[in-house]
Copies of this chain bind each other. A is one copy, B any other.
């Protein structure tokens, strides 16, 4: 039984690559998908396709059309969602993706540092599992196949 896992969350380091490699080492039958992880590409995709926009607001709006399209396609194909929060930035897309997944009844794991316990408490409470490290998330995924 192969499962598809959507990896929501920050795109400022290579945590998704780490997840992929560790899943491979454990020989877990998992396929991973994710939002666009090239930050500039994600910000510029709207103008790249729709052409120059009249303001930053409009540039952002056309980019978000396409980013949301991608996320909706891939999340609907996923069996599981993992959302990783880091210490920097607002990360509202991560919160949005995790909340949407939970509302769609997708089994959801949150990864967040100890420092974020308090501000994430209600969202953590709605997710299935909250852990602090990628290794712990992989242990949870592994457990499905024991």
Q: How far is the CB of A73 from chain B (nearest CB, A)?
A: 5
Interface of A is mostly: helix
Q: How far is the CB of A119 from chain B (nearest CB, A)?
A: 4
Chain A: how many interface residues by the 8 Å CB criterion? 72
- Within 8 Å by CB of A36, from B99, B129, B140, B143, lies B143
A19 contacts the other chain (Cβ, under 8 Å)? no
Q: Which residues of B contact A56 (CB under 8 A)?
A: 117-118
B121, A61: Cβ atoms under 8 Å? yes
Task: Determine the distance from Cα of A123 to Cα of B60 in the docked complex, in whole angstroms.
Answer: 11
- Within 8 Å by CB of A126, from B36, B55, B68, B131, lies B68
Q: When A and B form their complex, which 9 residue pairs have the shortest distance between CB atoms, in order from nearest? A: A103-B103, A99-B99, A64-B125, A54-B54, A95-B95, A60-B121, A69-B128, A90-B119, A64-B121
Which residues of A approach B to under 8 Å, CB–CB? 1, 3-4, 31, 33, 36, 38, 41, 45, 48-50, 54-58, 60-61, 63-74, 76-77, 79-80, 89-93, 95-96, 98-100, 102-105, 107, 109, 116-126, 128-131, 136, 139-140, 143-144, 146
